[in-house]
Amino acid sequence: MANQRRARCGHLWTASLALCVLLVVKVHTRPANMSALKDKNQDSKEDNEILPPDHLNGVKMEMDGHLNKDFHQEVFLGKDMEEFEEDSEPRRNRKKLIDIFTKVDFNKDGSVSAKEMQRWIMQKTEEHFQEAVRENKNSFRAVDPDGDGHVTWDEYRVKFLASKGFNEKEVAEKIKNNEELKVDEETQEVLESLKDRWFQADNPPADQLLNEEEFLSFLHPEHSRGMLKYMVKEIVRDLDQDGDKRLTLSEFISLPMGTVENQQAQDIDDDWVRERKKEFEDVIDANRDGIVTMEELEEYMDPMNEYNALNEARQMIAVADENQNRNLELEEILKYSEYFTGSKLMDYARNVHEEF
């Protein structure tokens, strides 16, 4: 994932330089949590299939507490995201973007209002949900090979350890006989965090088995209110320094250890901090009292929150609204194609070039 992102950065323009820098920082300065595990498994899709992803499409914050930099593109493109990620022909991208514009413009008056964009964002968020449900079917099949529709923690644990290179039969045998498993500290830590999450995902009445639906909320906490709360709790726990279960600005922007080494790193950190400060003050701390509570963070992260969608819609419009009519016209969206889709259109590339 990180490599892909960095590769994609290569195509972007100066305006996105800061973004690139941030993404690179992201790779190097991830707080502990699930990151160790993820980095190891990056090359193997099969392993990742049964593990909760760190990044959730259409959710504003990642599981490791980082801001989701691709959020606005994700909620603008929905399941068509990947089409734009490829270096496909600008003419084709232009046509696709025009198609999208026509659909977002619900009342067909040639311009997109905040309400229309909000409606669109909700629709695209739903697409990401459906995508996760589809993927979950495969993941569930992988952990429930006998197909009885239920998976125990022990069964999952065996699959997980097998994906980490342990001998599946041996591990299964040991677990059955209640023998001690020799796993390294890091794997043990991950196991414990997975176990907590596993039992959270087990809906009452708890039977210690996960069915497909519960497994979905294990992998994708954004699909259930209870799991969303759990995810918020985990994030706060990772960032909270004085243990009052709320976040001050300084807790929210404090850097993970060992990042500042030279001026270049310092500048990168400054951007990272600036971005988070802005998000904290302008968006997450809804009542502006300087403290982010779990409730505020939960509201912020809830992908089905219509108020957030409207806010996002307004922000998206503001970025490209050159004629200042609080609506988006087709020319505006084409001109800011890179912002909306992550890919530039040829004609406008030339214009941008002339400006420099």
Give the residues lining the site for Ca ion (CB under 5 A): 105, 107, 109, 240, 242, 244, 285, 287, 289, 291, 321, 323, 325, 327
What is the closest distance, in whole angstroms, from the C-beta atom of residue 331 to Ca ion in the complex? 9
To Ca ion, the closest distance from the beta carbon of 318 in angstroms equals 10
Report which of 209, 286, 218 is spatially closest to residue 63, judged by C-alpha positions: 218
Q: How far is the CB of 111 from Ca ion (least distance, A)?
A: 5
Question: In the complex with Ca ion, which residue's Cβ is closer, 36 or 294?
Answer: 294
d(CA 162, CA 183) in angstroms, rounded, equals 12
Closest to Ca ion by CB, 206 vs 257, is: 257
> Could you tell me the smallest distance in angstroms from the CB atom of residue 327 to Ca ion?
5
CA distance 330 to 324: 14
Minimum CB separation of residue 314 from Ca ion in Å reads 12
CB of 96 to Ca ion, least distance (A): 19
What element of type H or E holds 84? helix 81-85
Please give the full DSSP string across 163-216, using - where no structure is assigned.
Answer: HTT--HHHHHHHHHTTPPP---HHHHHHHHHHHHHHHHHSPSSP-SEE-HHHHH
The smaller minimum CB distance to Ca ion, of residues 23 and 328, is found at 328
343: Cα separation from own chain's centroid: 19
The residue among 198 and 300 lying less far from Ca ion, judged by its C-beta, is 300
What tokens were used for 213?
A: 């639906």
Q: CA-to-CA distance for 185 and 189, rounded, in angstroms?
A: 6
Residue closer to Ca ion, measured from CB, 46 or 289: 289
How many whole angstroms from its chain centre is CA 16?
19
Q: Residue 191 or 345: which CB sits closer to Ca ion? A: 345
